[in-house]
Structure 1
């Protein structure tokens, strides 16, 4: 009986006494609901058609081509039949997310990004050139020159 009271005194000193049960129960409920919410969000992120939480914003062209990509499922290492099937289908080559029927490397994705950047740069330079050309034409027409 003496040891039980000593234990209860010790637990009371560190904040685990009988009067603290309600507090720890509330903390437990809060942690449980938070973890459940994060688990559901994580599960939805894995199967989401929306593509949530991407670190880099994807350009419009890449979003339009998203239907060409598939997610590969890796087999559990202990399942020998599934591992053999995975290896036969060329499983370990390429990346985990790549275009269907084609092995994608990092160099190709970098090349795609550079291609998109150069295309945008060309469009912007074309806009700037047309704007400058129109300004020059309007100034010359104001001075009385006839340009067609």
Structure 2
């Protein structure tokens, strides 16, 4: 039974009583390191300096960064804030929007109406081109020179 002594086995693999101080220091170092990484991660996500974060960005994005601003998203459980956010155009789903364009006067109804108008305009343009091509082909069949 003496050969199965737990302290003797732990001492062989580096976990004996004389190794406690070493592992205590390793634990402190890991705790400090993870704390620093956690603080850097939180600071990166909620940076008070606006666009300055720890993430590297390509040159094009850095040059165009002044054109965009961050959009704050409401907490999903707050129904009133979510309705207000959707009414202001938050339903688009982007986290950044161009500066200078007033998005606060757009509500979801106006946005949908704008999309419908754009679709109608495209369909009208397609129909116009199709009718024009048919008329041109009929005139060419009759022998008229149409350019």
Q: Which of the pair has more CA radius of gyration?
A: 2
Give the number of the structure with larger relative contact order, counting CA–CA contacts within 8 Å between residues 6 or more apart. 2
